[in-house]
Protein backbone atom coordinates (compact mmCIF):
# COMPACT_ATOMS: atom_id res chain seq x y z
CA UNK A 1 0.00 0.00 0.00
CA UNK A 2 1.32 3.45 -0.90
CA UNK A 3 1.21 6.00 1.92
CA UNK A 4 0.53 9.74 1.80
CA UNK A 5 1.34 12.28 4.50
CA UNK A 6 -1.19 15.13 4.42
CA UNK A 7 -0.72 18.12 6.70
CA UNK A 8 -3.78 19.96 7.99
CA UNK A 9 -5.99 16.94 7.35
CA UNK A 10 -8.35 17.68 10.23
CA UNK A 11 -10.51 20.22 8.38
CA UNK A 12 -11.26 21.94 5.10
CA UNK A 13 -9.23 21.13 2.02
CA UNK A 14 -6.82 18.77 3.81
CA UNK A 15 -9.70 16.67 5.16
CA UNK A 16 -11.10 16.28 1.66
CA UNK A 17 -7.65 15.39 0.28
CA UNK A 18 -7.24 12.76 3.02
CA UNK A 19 -10.68 11.17 2.47
CA UNK A 20 -10.35 11.10 -1.33
CA UNK A 21 -6.77 9.79 -1.20
CA UNK A 22 -7.88 6.93 1.06
CA UNK A 23 -10.75 6.12 -1.34
CA UNK A 24 -8.10 5.43 -3.97
CA UNK A 25 -6.48 2.78 -1.78
CA UNK A 26 -3.63 4.91 -0.45
CA UNK A 27 -2.79 4.80 3.28
CA UNK A 28 -3.00 8.17 5.01
CA UNK A 29 -0.98 9.82 7.75
CA UNK A 30 -2.78 13.08 8.38
CA UNK A 31 -1.88 15.84 10.78
CA UNK A 32 -3.96 18.10 12.97
CA UNK A 33 -2.74 20.98 15.08
CA UNK A 34 -5.35 22.31 17.54
CA UNK A 35 -8.34 20.18 16.54
CA UNK A 36 -7.42 16.73 17.79
CA UNK A 37 -11.02 15.45 17.76
CA UNK A 38 -11.51 16.45 14.13
CA UNK A 39 -8.16 14.90 13.16
CA UNK A 40 -9.01 11.60 14.85
CA UNK A 41 -12.52 11.68 13.34
CA UNK A 42 -11.08 11.92 9.79
CA UNK A 43 -8.77 8.96 10.47
CA UNK A 44 -11.71 6.99 11.93
CA UNK A 45 -13.90 7.74 8.93
CA UNK A 46 -11.17 6.37 6.64
CA UNK A 47 -10.85 3.23 8.75
CA UNK A 48 -14.65 2.77 8.87
CA UNK A 49 -14.66 2.79 5.07
CA UNK A 50 -12.00 0.05 4.94
CA UNK A 51 -8.92 2.26 4.55
CA UNK A 52 -5.86 2.74 6.73
CA UNK A 53 -5.12 6.01 8.48
CA UNK A 54 -3.25 7.56 11.38
CA UNK A 55 -3.70 11.09 12.78
CA UNK A 56 -0.66 12.80 14.34
CA UNK A 57 -0.34 16.19 16.02
CA UNK A 58 1.98 18.59 14.20
CA UNK A 59 2.51 22.34 14.51
CA UNK A 60 3.99 23.91 11.41
CA UNK A 61 5.42 26.82 13.40
CA UNK A 62 7.57 24.62 15.68
CA UNK A 63 10.51 23.49 13.55
CA UNK A 64 12.36 22.30 16.67
CA UNK A 65 9.70 19.58 17.11
CA UNK A 66 10.02 18.21 13.56
CA UNK A 67 12.64 15.63 14.59
CA UNK A 68 10.20 14.10 17.10
CA UNK A 69 7.41 14.27 14.54
CA UNK A 70 9.58 12.42 12.00
CA UNK A 71 10.24 9.72 14.60
CA UNK A 72 6.46 9.36 15.07
CA UNK A 73 6.01 9.07 11.31
CA UNK A 74 8.66 6.32 11.21
CA UNK A 75 6.88 4.46 13.99
CA UNK A 76 3.47 4.80 12.31
CA UNK A 77 4.86 3.60 8.99
CA UNK A 78 6.25 0.51 10.69
CA UNK A 79 3.32 -0.24 13.04
CA UNK A 80 0.35 0.68 10.85
CA UNK A 81 1.61 0.07 7.33
CA UNK A 82 4.55 -2.34 7.75
CA UNK A 83 6.76 0.02 5.74
CA UNK A 84 9.93 2.05 6.16
CA UNK A 85 9.09 4.64 3.53
CA UNK A 86 6.13 6.72 2.38
CA UNK A 87 5.23 7.86 -1.13
CA UNK A 88 3.41 11.20 -1.14
CA UNK A 89 3.59 14.42 0.86
CA UNK A 90 0.91 17.10 0.66
CA UNK A 91 1.99 20.34 2.34
CA UNK A 92 -1.52 21.68 2.84
CA UNK A 93 -1.69 23.16 6.37
CA UNK A 94 -1.77 26.93 6.38
CA UNK A 95 -3.23 30.07 7.90
CA UNK A 96 -4.63 33.26 6.47
CA UNK A 97 -2.88 35.21 9.25
CA UNK A 98 -2.66 38.95 9.65
CA UNK A 99 -4.43 40.94 6.95
CA UNK A 100 -3.80 44.56 6.10
CA UNK A 101 -1.92 46.86 3.80
CA UNK A 102 1.85 46.67 3.44
CA UNK A 103 2.11 49.81 5.59
CA UNK A 104 0.07 48.13 8.34
CA UNK A 105 2.03 44.83 8.41
CA UNK A 106 3.66 44.12 11.77
CA UNK A 107 6.81 42.07 12.22
CA UNK A 108 4.87 39.63 14.45
CA UNK A 109 2.16 39.12 11.83
CA UNK A 110 4.79 38.68 9.13
CA UNK A 111 6.79 36.17 11.19
CA UNK A 112 3.73 34.10 12.06
CA UNK A 113 2.83 33.74 8.40
CA UNK A 114 6.41 32.95 7.40
CA UNK A 115 6.69 30.31 10.12
CA UNK A 116 3.44 28.49 9.41
CA UNK A 117 3.08 28.87 5.64
CA UNK A 118 6.69 28.69 4.41
CA UNK A 119 9.28 27.72 7.02
CA UNK A 120 7.11 24.85 8.28
CA UNK A 121 6.54 23.13 4.91
CA UNK A 122 10.16 23.81 3.87
CA UNK A 123 11.71 22.13 6.90
CA UNK A 124 9.07 19.41 7.13
CA UNK A 125 9.94 18.45 3.55
CA UNK A 126 13.64 18.53 4.45
CA UNK A 127 13.07 16.25 7.44
CA UNK A 128 10.73 13.79 5.70
CA UNK A 129 12.39 13.42 2.31
CA UNK A 130 14.93 10.84 3.55
CA UNK A 131 11.90 8.67 4.45
CA UNK A 132 10.24 9.17 1.06
CA UNK A 133 10.50 6.38 -1.49
CA UNK A 134 12.30 7.19 -4.74
CA UNK A 135 9.69 8.12 -7.34
CA UNK A 136 7.59 9.93 -4.70
CA UNK A 137 5.50 13.03 -5.28
CA UNK A 138 5.13 16.23 -3.27
CA UNK A 139 2.19 18.60 -3.66
CA UNK A 140 2.41 22.05 -2.12
CA UNK A 141 -0.89 23.85 -1.70
CA UNK A 142 -0.45 27.40 -2.94
CA UNK A 143 -3.14 29.97 -3.73
CA UNK A 144 -4.53 32.08 -6.54
CA UNK A 145 -3.24 34.99 -4.43
CA UNK A 146 0.29 34.06 -5.50
CA UNK A 147 -0.74 35.29 -8.95
CA UNK A 148 -3.32 38.01 -8.32
CA UNK A 149 -2.35 40.99 -6.19
CA UNK A 150 -5.46 41.42 -4.01
CA UNK A 151 -5.66 44.11 -1.32
CA UNK A 152 -4.51 43.32 2.24
CA UNK A 153 -2.87 39.95 1.61
CA UNK A 154 0.64 40.94 0.50
CA UNK A 155 2.48 38.73 2.99
CA UNK A 156 0.24 35.69 2.41
CA UNK A 157 0.42 36.08 -1.39
CA UNK A 158 4.18 36.64 -1.42
CA UNK A 159 4.73 33.53 0.73
CA UNK A 160 2.58 31.36 -1.54
CA UNK A 161 4.75 32.60 -4.44
CA UNK A 162 7.79 31.54 -2.42
CA UNK A 163 6.25 28.11 -1.84
CA UNK A 164 5.80 27.75 -5.59
CA UNK A 165 9.45 28.74 -6.06
CA UNK A 166 10.51 26.15 -3.49
CA UNK A 167 8.47 23.55 -5.41
CA UNK A 168 10.55 24.13 -8.56
CA UNK A 169 13.86 24.11 -6.70
CA UNK A 170 12.87 20.92 -4.93
CA UNK A 171 11.92 19.21 -8.21
CA UNK A 172 15.35 20.06 -9.61
CA UNK A 173 17.31 19.00 -6.54
CA UNK A 174 15.58 15.62 -6.10
CA UNK A 175 15.33 14.71 -9.78
CA UNK A 176 18.05 12.07 -9.32
CA UNK A 177 15.66 10.24 -7.00
CA UNK A 178 12.77 10.79 -9.45
CA UNK A 179 10.83 12.61 -6.77
CA UNK A 180 8.42 15.06 -8.37
CA UNK A 181 7.03 18.26 -6.89
CA UNK A 182 4.10 20.35 -8.06
CA UNK A 183 2.00 23.10 -6.58
CA UNK A 184 -1.77 23.32 -6.72
CA UNK A 185 -3.17 26.83 -6.40
CA UNK A 186 -6.87 26.91 -5.46
CA UNK A 187 -8.92 30.06 -5.93
CA UNK A 188 -11.24 30.95 -3.06
CA UNK A 189 -12.59 27.85 -1.31
CA UNK A 190 -15.59 27.66 1.01
CA UNK A 191 -13.87 26.53 4.23
CA UNK A 192 -13.35 28.09 7.67
CA UNK A 193 -10.02 29.51 6.45
CA UNK A 194 -9.47 33.00 7.85
CA UNK A 195 -12.92 32.90 9.51
CA UNK A 196 -14.73 31.85 6.31
CA UNK A 197 -16.26 34.03 3.61
CA UNK A 198 -19.49 35.99 3.98
CA UNK A 199 -22.33 35.77 1.47
CA UNK A 200 -21.31 38.98 -0.36
CA UNK A 201 -17.80 37.67 -0.92
CA UNK A 202 -19.16 34.29 -2.07
CA UNK A 203 -21.51 36.02 -4.52
CA UNK A 204 -18.70 38.18 -5.90
CA UNK A 205 -16.37 35.21 -6.31
CA UNK A 206 -19.09 33.15 -8.01
CA UNK A 207 -19.75 35.97 -10.47
CA UNK A 208 -16.05 36.24 -11.32
CA UNK A 209 -15.70 32.48 -11.85
CA UNK A 210 -16.40 30.92 -15.25
CA UNK A 211 -17.96 27.84 -13.63
CA UNK A 212 -20.26 30.17 -11.68
CA UNK A 213 -19.53 29.07 -8.12
CA UNK A 214 -16.95 29.26 -5.41
CA UNK A 215 -15.03 26.01 -4.84
CA UNK A 216 -15.94 23.62 -2.07
CA UNK A 217 -13.15 21.69 -0.33
CA UNK A 218 -14.20 18.61 -2.31
CA UNK A 219 -13.39 20.35 -5.63
CA UNK A 220 -9.78 20.62 -4.48
CA UNK A 221 -9.58 17.32 -2.58
CA UNK A 222 -10.72 15.23 -5.54
CA UNK A 223 -8.09 16.77 -7.82
CA UNK A 224 -5.17 16.54 -5.41
CA UNK A 225 -6.03 12.89 -4.66
CA UNK A 226 -5.99 12.22 -8.42
CA UNK A 227 -2.42 13.55 -8.56
CA UNK A 228 -1.30 11.02 -5.96
CA UNK A 229 -1.31 8.20 -8.51
CA UNK A 230 0.93 7.04 -11.34
CA UNK A 231 -1.40 8.83 -13.78
CA UNK A 232 0.47 12.06 -12.98
CA UNK A 233 3.88 10.43 -13.42
CA UNK A 234 5.26 12.96 -15.95
CA UNK A 235 3.92 16.07 -14.21
CA UNK A 236 6.78 17.87 -12.52
CA UNK A 237 7.72 21.34 -11.26
CA UNK A 238 4.38 22.85 -12.30
CA UNK A 239 1.89 25.28 -10.80
CA UNK A 240 -1.68 24.22 -11.45
CA UNK A 241 -4.38 26.79 -10.81
CA UNK A 242 -7.63 25.20 -9.64
CA UNK A 243 -10.17 28.00 -9.59
CA UNK A 244 -12.98 26.99 -11.93
CA UNK A 245 -11.76 29.76 -14.24
CA UNK A 246 -11.50 32.73 -11.88
CA UNK A 247 -11.05 36.14 -13.47
CA UNK A 248 -10.51 34.96 -17.05
Q: Are 213 and 190 in contact (CB under 8 A)?
A: no
> For the chain, give me the number of helices (H) and strands (E)?
8, 7
**How distant, in Å, are the alpha carbons of 71, 97, 114, 124, 127 from that of 64?**
13, 21, 15, 10, 11
Q: Give the separation between CA 169 and CA 231, rounded to whole angstroms.
A: 23
Query: Active-site residue among 2, 15, 160, 197?
Result: 160
Query: Which CB, 69 or 86, lies closer to ligand NAP?
Result: 69
Q: Give the separation between CA 106 and CA 108, rounded to whole angstroms.
A: 5
Closest distance of CB 134 from ligand NAP, Å: 27
Return the sign of the alpha-carbon dihedral for residues 178, 69, 222, 98. negative
Query: Which CB, 132 or 142, lies closer to ligand NAP?
Result: 142
Closest distance of CB 216 from ligand NAP, Å: 10
Return the sign of the alpha-carbon dihedral for residues 22, 185, 159, 34. negative
143 is catalytic: yes
Query: Active-site residue among 15, 156, 161, 243?
Result: 156
Closest distance of CB 104 from ligand NAP, Å: 20
Closest distance of CB 193 from ligand NAP, Å: 3
| Kind and range of the H or E run holding 203 | helix 199-207
Q: Give the separation between CA 33 and CA 54, rounded to whole angstroms.
A: 14
Residues that bind ligand NAP (CB under 6 A): 7-8, 10-14, 32-35, 39, 58-61, 92-95, 116, 141, 143, 186, 188-189, 191-193
- Residues with Cβ < 8 Å from 71, sequence gap 6 or more? none
Query: Which CB, 27 or 39, lies closer to ligand NAP?
Result: 39
122 is catalytic: no
| Kind and range of the H or E run holding 179 | none
- Cα-Cα end-to-end distance for the chain: 40
Closest distance of CB 234 from ligand NAP, Å: 25
Query: Which CB, 8 or 51, lies closer to ligand NAP?
Result: 8
172 is catalytic: no
Query: Which CB, 42 or 132, lies closer to ligand NAP?
Result: 42
16 is catalytic: no
* Catalytic residue list: 142-143, 156, 160
Amino acid sequence: MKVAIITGGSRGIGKSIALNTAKRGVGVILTYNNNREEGLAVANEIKKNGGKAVALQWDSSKVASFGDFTAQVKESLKDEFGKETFDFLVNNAGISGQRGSILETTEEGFDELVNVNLKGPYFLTQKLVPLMADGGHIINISSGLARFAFPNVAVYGALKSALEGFTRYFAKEFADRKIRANSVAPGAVDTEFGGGKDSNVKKHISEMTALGKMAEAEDIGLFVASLLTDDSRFLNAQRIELSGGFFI
